Amino acid sequence: MVYEDILTNSIDLGLVAYPQKHKQLEVLPFHDDELVLACYPEHPLTQQSSVDIQALNGQKIIGFEPDIPTRKATDQIFKESNIDADLVMEFDNVETVKRAVEINAGIAILPQTTVVREEAQGLLKVLKFSNQTYNRPLALIHRKGRVLTPAMKKLIELLTTKKLESEKPV
């Protein structure tokens, strides 16, 4: 786990989703990644430009393993929306989830930035939710009091700068 690696000085910086506060850690939020629905391109839901969360009721869902923060968040989304998720597969990483969706084994709620390439290549159809936006907060973490190298400071600066170069108007 990233938190343990930081606390035991195995690593200097960590990148985490749904950051947890800890008295020995500095948490530096830097981005909210929108969660979207990833489907096989010919899936019936792809006939729409966006999807109501209720449309997931009874669908075959491919998810992350239960201890992964993004899975905990999707479980909460399902609970709050009274969705009876038919979880058919669980994986520990986003690449395997995407491959399962690509072979039409089910649909998945994934961070939008993780499916850009597959959407551009036509391997997945990505739909935003019509009734609500769900975000996955990302943060850098490091041990409080750690002396940061110039490279670490630059990385933190690059990731935590509010307006990235690509977002600036031309």
CA distance 2 to 110: 20
pLDDT value at position 117? 96
Give the H or E element holding residue 74.
Answer: helix 69-80
pLDDT of 165 higher than 70: no
Calculate the average pLDDT of the chain: 90
pLDDT value at position 131? 85
Tokens 């209720």 found at: 54
Residue boundaries of the structural domains of the chain: 2-30+140-167, 32-135
Per-residue pLDDT reduced to its tens digit, 142-163 = 999 888 889 988 988 888 886 4
pLDDT of 169 higher than 80: no
pLDDT value at position 162? 60
pLDDT value at position 91? 97
Per-residue pLDDT reduced to its tens digit, 1-35 = 888 888 888 888 998 999 988 899 999 988 899 99
The pLDDT confidence band at residue 134, using thresholds 50, 70 and 90, is very high
pLDDT value at position 125? 97
CATH for 32-135, options being 3.40.50.970, 3.40.50.2000, 3.40.190.10, 3.20.20.80: 3.40.190.10
User: Which residue type does 142 have?
Assistant: H
Per-residue pLDDT reduced to its tens digit, 66-116 = 999 999 999 999 999 999 989 999 999 999 999 999 999 999 999 999 999
Are 124 and 38 a contacting pair, CB within 8 Å? yes
